[in-house]
């Protein structure tokens, strides 16, 4: 068992039958998705500087909230996906109020905003997180702000890391604690990984969802994009989609420039980001993740080890690398409809970091 899990008094990950291996772990939510009732709960609309809006779903705990947690979905996802709703229930069970956010062009928020999101969409996300800090104050019965955390699933974690690294110091901080699960740190190596022949079905599914989200733009698309997304010339890879849509929409001259600028790994490895820039941070990934290479996170873990051997007292990220779990899978014995292993880990770690230090 890792030192981190020992300190948290949390069981290590074990695969849950019959979901053995990286692909079944990755696909479990799709193959055995619950038939949820429509998500008619409370919603919140964030108005952006350009006048568009992002939609978020509320999940409320029983009793007074001990903190507010923002959940950010991955590529092609949205607030109503199985994983988001299950994570929301797990966080609520730990006493947190939850906002499941839809990024620009995603999920049920698609009609409210033109365009699409990117791995670095700070001009959208930063105003949202500033307003979430105000919402955390409104939730507190005493008028003192509740702690504000976030969980990013897959690309959602990359989006959060880029916001933190691009925002710098502030008072109060942008976020008090962040969990990133199966999040790409190097977009170039991630694109190469998803292009492997073994992943062709995954990639086709992801690209199809991205094209559907893009074509559903309430303000329509320019003719060049319309033609590029339809027919035989439509993108067949994530890289081709990013070259046609994501990079130019977010003002990058090429897809390579987009991947280089929006990969958090170089800034995390510089050794220049410490407690003055980053909040408490937990990075979780499986070695057998079929979508996101684990090597970038291994390099972060090694950098932490070396710095600690040299006596560094910086508040480094907590890193947890499991042998199994697939991509954003982590389905283990003892799971319930209210949380898989990584959901419970995120809720437990956030409670330990955000709530327990303030407890009498």
pLDDT tens, residue by residue, 27-70:
998 887 665 566 656 899 999 999 999 999 999 999 999 999 99
pLDDT tens, residue by residue, 295-323:
999 999 988 888 777 776 666 789 999 99
pLDDT value, residue 276: 55
Of the chain, the percentage scoring pLDDT greater than 90 comes to: 78
pLDDT value, residue 270: 75
CA distance 61 to 66: 9
pLDDT at 360 over 50: no
CA distance 22 to 165: 31
Residues sharing a CB contact under 8 Å with residue 71, sequence separation 6 or more, in sequence order: 79, 84, 87, 88, 91, 98, 99, 100, 101, 150, 151, 152, 153, 156
CB-based contact 281:173 (threshold 8 Å): no
Lowest mean pLDDT of 61-75, 135-149, 322-336, name the range: 135-149
Question: What does the pLDDT average to over 202-216?
Answer: 95
pLDDT value, residue 338: 82
pLDDT tens, residue by residue, 184-207:
999 999 999 999 999 999 999 999
Question: Taking all residues of the chain, what is their mean pLDDT, rounded to a whole number?
Answer: 91
**Residue 179, strand partner residues:** 151, 282
pLDDT at 170 over 90: no
CA distance 331 to 29: 9
Q: Which residue has the tokens 């996906």?
A: 81
Lowest mean pLDDT of 18-22, 59-63, 201-205, 230-234, name the range: 230-234
Q: What is the CA radius of gyration of the chain?
A: 19
**Which pTM does this prediction carry?**
0.94
67-72, strands of its sheet edge to edge: 43-47, 53-59, 96-101, 67-72, 148-153, 177-181, 280-286, 318-322
Number of residues written out for the chain: 360
φ, ψ for residue 301 (rounded to 5)?
-60, -40
CA distance 284 to 324: 11
For residue 7, the tally of other CB atoms under 10 A from its CB is 10
pLDDT tens, residue by residue, 65-115:
999 999 999 999 999 998 999 999 999 999 999 999 999 999 999 999 999
CB-based contact 29:42 (threshold 8 Å): no
Tokens representing residue 301 in the block: 């873990």
Where does the chain have alpha helices with state H?
A: 3-8, 22-31, 82-93, 122-139, 155-167, 187-194, 200-215, 223-229, 238-241, 247-249, 255-261, 265-269, 295-309, 341-350
Question: What does the pLDDT average to over 10-19?
Answer: 96
pLDDT tens, residue by residue, 252-264:
999 999 999 999 9
């Amino acid at each position: 068992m890792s030192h981190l899990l020992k300190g948290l008094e949390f069981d290590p990950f074990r695969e849950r039958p019959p979901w053995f291996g990286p692909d079944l772990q990755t696909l479990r939510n799709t193959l055995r998705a619950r038939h949820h009732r429509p998500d008619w709960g409370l919603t919140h609309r964030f108005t952006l500087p350009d006048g568009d809006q992002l939609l978020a779903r509320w999940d409320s705990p029983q009793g007074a909230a001990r903190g507010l947690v923002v959940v950010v979905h991955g590529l092609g996802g949205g607030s109503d996906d199985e994983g988001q709703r299950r994570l929301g229930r797990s966080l609520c069970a730990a006493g947190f109020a939850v906002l499941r956010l839809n990024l620009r062009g995603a999920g049920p928020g698609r009609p409210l905003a033109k365009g699409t999101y990117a791995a670095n969409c700070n001009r959208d996300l930063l105003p949202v997180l500033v307003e979430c800090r105000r919402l955390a104050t409104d939730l507190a019965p005493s008028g003192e702000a509740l702690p504000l955390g976030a969980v990013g699933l897959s690309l959602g974690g990359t989006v959060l890391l880029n916001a933190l690294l691009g925002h710098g110091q502030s008072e109060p901080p942008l976020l008090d604690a962040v969990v990133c699960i199966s999040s790409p740190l190097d977009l170039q190596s991630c694109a190469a990984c998803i292009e492997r022949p073994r992943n062709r079905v995954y990639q086709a599914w992801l690209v199809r969802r991205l094209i559907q989200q893009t074509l559903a733009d309430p303000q329509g698309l320019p003719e060049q994009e319309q033609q590029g997304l339809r027919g035989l010339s439509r993108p067949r890879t994530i890289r081709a989609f990013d070259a046609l849509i994501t990079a130019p929409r977010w003002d990058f001259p090429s897809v390579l420039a987009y991947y280089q600028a929006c990969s958090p790994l170089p800034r995390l490895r510089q050794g220049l980001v410490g407690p003055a820039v980053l909040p408490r941070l937990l990075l979780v990934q499986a070695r057998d993740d079929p979508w996101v290479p684990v090597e970038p996170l291994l390099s972060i873990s090694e950098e932490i080890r070396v710095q600690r051997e040299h006596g560094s007292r910086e508040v480094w990220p907590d890193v947890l690398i499991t042998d199994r779990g697939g991509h954003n899978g982590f389905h283990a014995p003892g799971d319930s409809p209210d949380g898989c292993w990584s959901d419970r880990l995120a809720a437990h770690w956030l409670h330990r970091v955000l709530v327990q230090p303030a407890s009498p």
